[in-house]
Amino acid sequence: METKQNIHELMIDVGKAAKKALTELAVVHTNKKNQALKESAKAIRSAKEFLKEANSTDFKEARQKGLSGSMLDRLLLDESRIEAMAKGLEDIAKLKDPVGTILAEWKRPNGLHIQRVCVPLGVIGIIYESRPNVTADAGGLSLKSGNTAILRGGSESFNSSKVIAECLQQGLRKANLPTTAIQLVPTRDRAAVGEMLKMSDLIDIIVPRGGKSLTQKIQTESRVPVIAHLDGNCHVYIDRAADTQMAVNIVCNSKMRRPGICGATESLVVDKPIAKKTLPNIIDALISAGCEVRGDHKTQMLDSRVRPATEEDWDTEYLDAIISIKQVNGVDEAIEHINTHGSHHTDSIVTKNSSTAQMFLEKIDSAIVLHNASTQFADGGEFGMGAEIGISTGRLHARGPVGVEQLTTFKYVVHGEGQVRS
Amino acid sequence: METKQNIHELMIDVGKAAKKALTELAVVHTNKKNQALKESAKAIRSAKEFLKEANSTDFKEARQKGLSGSMLDRLLLDESRIEAMAKGLEDIAKLKDPVGTILAEWKRPNGLHIQRVCVPLGVIGIIYESRPNVTADAGGLSLKSGNTAILRGGSESFNSSKVIAECLQQGLRKANLPTTAIQLVPTRDRAAVGEMLKMSDLIDIIVPRGGKSLTQKIQTESRVPVIAHLDGNCHVYIDRAADTQMAVNIVCNSKMRRPGICGATESLVVDKPIAKKTLPNIIDALISAGCEVRGDHKTQMLDSRVRPATEEDWDTEYLDAIISIKQVNGVDEAIEHINTHGSHHTDSIVTKNSSTAQMFLEKIDSAIVLHNASTQFADGGEFGMGAEIGISTGRLHARGPVGVEQLTTFKYVVHGEGQVRS
């Protein structure tokens, strides 16, 4: 067992190596980064048997420790998941490299030519649960955006993640890039996470990827800026001017396509004048699809299978086949309700009235607002932004899907001919 | 004297009022914000005598407390400074309103139309020293960008800031906007700052504006994300291919135009092959202008008036008429030196060789990098971005000048026709 002091020194070394590698990664040509990504994919495919073996060690230990079924499922790597990781890296290689893009440029009256140029964020610390595939995703996204990564996965996935990280490093080596551009924290000791959160000189940003409790703990404790995904308490609002069939389709898809993802709708808000017409169909469709429906008093009156919703329900992200239904008087009350109880992630309005839609889209204070579309589109891939490291519910820097572009910042490059300031 | 509990409750009330006002401010028409800014300017001009009186109360107390000369100077409001504040607000009214700007838009194969739309950041807490004019600047910039502001100035400027904040609120009132859109913390007690740094539910971002010690303390203690300006240890590098006269002009301007601003050069890095040719002229010009020159051994050899520079000098932001000079072997060593000892604020290269310039501009990891221009251009106004709240040396969200545009974020607005995800 490492001592606290040892872990401190170990992590400082990891951080320094990441900072050093950054000077090369930040300015390297896209081709080299893509080569590393493709070679990493190859290495993962070649290491398949070895990786399955490491994963089976992890899996057995985790089962002995009594991990829950869904956690065990996330930990497991099978043939198709290993192939998906390799394919994911190849897909990242196909994305446009944001680094070096001139985001804006203009000339000043004194002749100075100013450019705002996209550059990597720096050293990114990514802290996640025992999902070994995140090692490949997060490492690949960081690499493509010119950042160096310090990856800290859940301790139950340590052996699997180690093999994956070695594959990524082999890719880096083949492309003649420093292998320290992607480092896995070399200890299972949780003290290492505490160290990362304090390393504001060596880590530029922390990205937690996991459940709300992990994320909240990191946000509270970190001295390094955090880009975080908190909960996705998403809503669909059915306005009085909604098309009934469209409302049924959108609600069922928003809730039941995959109830466990962050863009799944947790709460349905219905305009009173249309409730009697649309809600019976919606409730019936949801219950037929296996969803538990909870509702306010008026909604319970419409169908005896609706269970009572409490105040707590409005604030709850079920991540499960459960939905709460609230009736309101018009779009203003809907906006008030959603802004108060939602989590500023993704909310949708169903209406044929474009001025009501406009009001909703403008006043709902969420990263993603939709008109006549399912909340399950809240996803970097669906947005055409490629792979993402999460959906940010914060307002600073990145909001919504965090893909390669969101893992960058910019600097100002100024070209002069000897100008001095008067 | 307020108790700790009282101050906690007081600040929660301030925060809640700011959050509430935000729902209106965030979506209000530009004309109303501009009207409020112009009316605030009028109110400041009308309150001139009253303001001078309040300032004189502050000034007397501060002098009794033994405040230093430069701090007293910053606290003082005279006719021209009051007029500058009013004029500053009118200038902010003239800036383009960023809110509502469509930053990007695209259509997906399934017909979804995605827009990235500029929206205000939210509630901004601004913590500054006893410079009453910051009350007007910061309040005005927040208002223009649709944010609501909680302003906490140094306690020595309390009476002056209170009058200014009342003028801003009068402007808001005349434009029929909630007066709580700009609030001055209503107590001098320093515990209020501690409360602000903990109010992550009610304040979206903290902007410290002041010296390094204030900023560092806030960065360390804040639970709310911070956009900070740390120090400006800026460099000029004179490459072997520099034009001698241009080098002299740029160095003298970068250091001596105003030695106390953050974009002032603190350290000169000179390529050895050109040192003998350029440095004697530069040293002579600097000393004639009243600058103290410190240098490494080789530089001391060139002029007996050069004092020895220690390792500490390379890391020091003098904010004074002092410069340190270091000789290096070529641009690579210069980049290494500047990235190690600089503060990632603003650095300039003087050279006629465009590929050397390119390397410098690419590899120097600073918010602003210049080629053949003075570092004193590091300023929102000089960049054509209008008034700014500071120059961010952080990498997240805002980097470089923080003006109205940098006080915003974005959301995704998605227009569909009933699309659901397959």
- How would you write the pLDDT of chain A (422 residues) with one tens digit per residue? 567 789 999 999 999 999 999 999 999 999 999 999 999 999 999 999 999 999 999 999 999 999 888 889 889 999 999 999 999 999 999 999 999 999 999 999 999 999 999 999 999 999 999 999 999 999 999 999 999 999 999 999 999 999 999 999 999 999 999 999 999 999 999 999 999 999 999 999 999 988 888 888 898 889 898 988 778 999 999 999 999 999 999 999 999 999 988 999 999 999 999 999 999 999 999 999 999 999 999 999 999 999 999 999 999 999 899 999 999 999 999 999 999 999 999 999 999 999 999 999 999 999 999 999 999 999 999 999 988 888 998 889 999 999 999 999 999 999 999 999 99
**Residue-range domain boundaries for chain A:** 4-229+402-414, 234-377
Q: Classify residue A214 by burial, with Cβ atoms within 10 Å: 0-12, 13-18, 19+.
A: middle
Measured between CA atoms, the residue of chain A closest to residue B203 is: A395
What pLDDT, on the 0 to 100 scale, is given for residue B211?
Answer: 80
A79 contacts A48 by C-beta, under 8 angstroms: yes
B7 contacts B191 by C-beta, under 8 angstroms: yes
What are the strands of the beta sheet with B182-184, ordered from one edge?
B182-184, B148-152, B123-128, B205-209
Measured between CA atoms, the residue of chain A closest to residue B407 is: A396
Which helix (H) or strand (E) covers residue B99, if one does? none
Dihedral angle of Cα B44, B46, B48, B51, to the nearest 10 degrees: -60
Nearest to B421 among A225, A372, A377 (CB): A377
B60 contacts B194 by C-beta, under 8 angstroms: no
Q: Which 346-365 residues of chain B touch chain A by CB within 8 A?
A: 361-363, 365
- How would you write the pLDDT of chain B (422 residues) with one tens digit per residue? 567 789 999 999 999 999 999 999 999 999 999 999 999 999 999 999 999 999 999 999 999 999 888 889 889 999 999 999 999 999 999 999 999 999 999 999 999 999 999 999 999 999 999 999 999 999 999 999 999 999 999 999 999 999 999 999 999 999 999 999 999 999 999 999 999 999 999 999 999 988 888 888 898 889 898 988 778 999 999 999 999 999 999 999 999 999 988 999 999 999 999 999 999 999 999 999 999 999 999 999 999 999 999 999 999 999 899 999 999 999 999 999 999 999 999 999 999 999 999 999 999 999 999 999 999 999 999 999 988 888 998 889 999 999 999 999 999 999 999 999 99
Q: Which 203-242 residues of chain A touch chain B by CB within 8 A?
A: 204-205, 219-220, 223, 225, 227
Question: How many other C-beta atoms can be found within 10 angstroms of the C-beta atom of residue B220?
Answer: 11
Retrieve residue B357's tokens. Answer: 């310039």
What gap in Å lies between CA B339 and CA B396, rounded to an integer? 18
B267 contacts B326 by C-beta, under 8 angstroms: yes
B414 contacts A368 by C-beta, under 8 angstroms: yes
Tell me the CATH number of domain A234-377, given options 3.40.50.1110, 3.40.309.10, 3.40.50.150, 3.40.50.300. Answer: 3.40.309.10
Measured between CA atoms, the residue of chain A closest to residue B382 is: A108
Report CA torsion sign: B25, B30, B31, B33.
positive
- B395 and A CB contact within 8 Å: yes
A202 contacts A19 by C-beta, under 8 angstroms: yes
Q: Cβ of B417 and A366 within 8 Å?
A: no
A263 contacts A346 by C-beta, under 8 angstroms: yes
What gap in Å lies between CA B94 and CA B60, rounded to an integer? 36
**Which residues on A lie below 8 Å from B397 (Cβ)?**
396-397
**Up-side HSE of residue B302: CA atoms within 13 Å toward CB?**
23
Question: How many other C-beta atoms can be found within 10 angstroms of the C-beta atom of residue B209?
Answer: 22
**Which residues on A lie below 8 Å from B409 (Cβ)?**
395-396, 399
- B28 and A CB contact within 8 Å: no
Mutate to test the interface with B, among A396, A399, A422 (most CBs of B within 10 A): A396
Q: Which residues pair with B152 in a beta bridge?
A: B127
Q: Cβ of A419 and B377 within 8 Å?
A: yes
B344 contacts B367 by C-beta, under 8 angstroms: yes
Strands (E), A272-376: 292-295, 307-308, 322-328, 346-350, 368-373
Which helix (H) or strand (E) covers residue A117, if one does? strand A113-120
Residue listed under structure tokens 């003290």 = A191
What pLDDT, on the 0 to 100 scale, is given for residue A215?
Answer: 87
Buried b or exposed e, range B278-289, using 16+ CB within 10 angstroms:
bbeebbebbeee
B223 contacts B386 by C-beta, under 8 angstroms: no
Q: Kindly indicate whether the ipTM for this predicted assembly is greater than 0.90, answering yes or no.
A: yes
Q: Cβ of A122 and B395 within 8 Å?
A: yes
**Which residues on A lie below 8 Å from B382 (Cβ)?**
108, 112, 421
Task: Please enumerate in sequence order all residues whose Cβ is within 8 A of that of A100, keeping only pairs 6 or more positions apart, or say none.
Answer: A117, A118, A119
Plot region of B350 (φ>0 → left; ψ -120 to 50 → alpha; else → beta): beta
Mutate to test the interface with B, among A406, A413, A417, A422 (most CBs of B within 10 A): A413
What pLDDT, on the 0 to 100 scale, is given for residue B24?
Answer: 94
Q: What is the CA radius of gyration of chain A?
A: 24
Q: Cβ of B399 and A410 within 8 Å?
A: yes
Task: Read off the DSSP letter of residue A309.
Answer: P
Q: How far is A108 from chain B, CA to nearest CA, in Å?
A: 7
Please report, as a single letter, which amino acid is at residue B314.
W
Mutate to test the interface with B, among A405, A411, A415, A422 (most CBs of B within 10 A): A411
CATH class of B4-229+402-414: alpha beta
Q: How far is A77 from chain B, CA to nearest CA, in Å?
A: 25
Strand B205-209 relative to strand B234-238: parallel, antiparallel, unpaired?
Answer: unpaired
Q: Which residues pair with A116 in a beta bridge?
A: A104, A412
B93 contacts B48 by C-beta, under 8 angstroms: no
Q: How far is B157 from chain A, CA to nearest CA, in Å?
A: 30
Task: Name the 3-class secondary structure at A115.
Answer: strand
Q: Which 245-284 residues of chain B touch chain A by CB within 8 A?
A: 246, 249-250, 252-254, 257
- What is the longest distance spanned by two Cα atoms in chain B? 80
Predicted confidence (pLDDT) per residue in A108-134, tens digit: 999 999 999 999 999 999 999 999 999
B197 contacts B224 by C-beta, under 8 angstroms: yes
What gap in Å lies between CA A28 and CA A37, rounded to an integer? 14
B178 contacts B218 by C-beta, under 8 angstroms: no
A-B Cβ pairs (cutoff 8 Å, strict): 184
What pLDDT, on the 0 to 100 scale, is given for residue B1?
Answer: 54
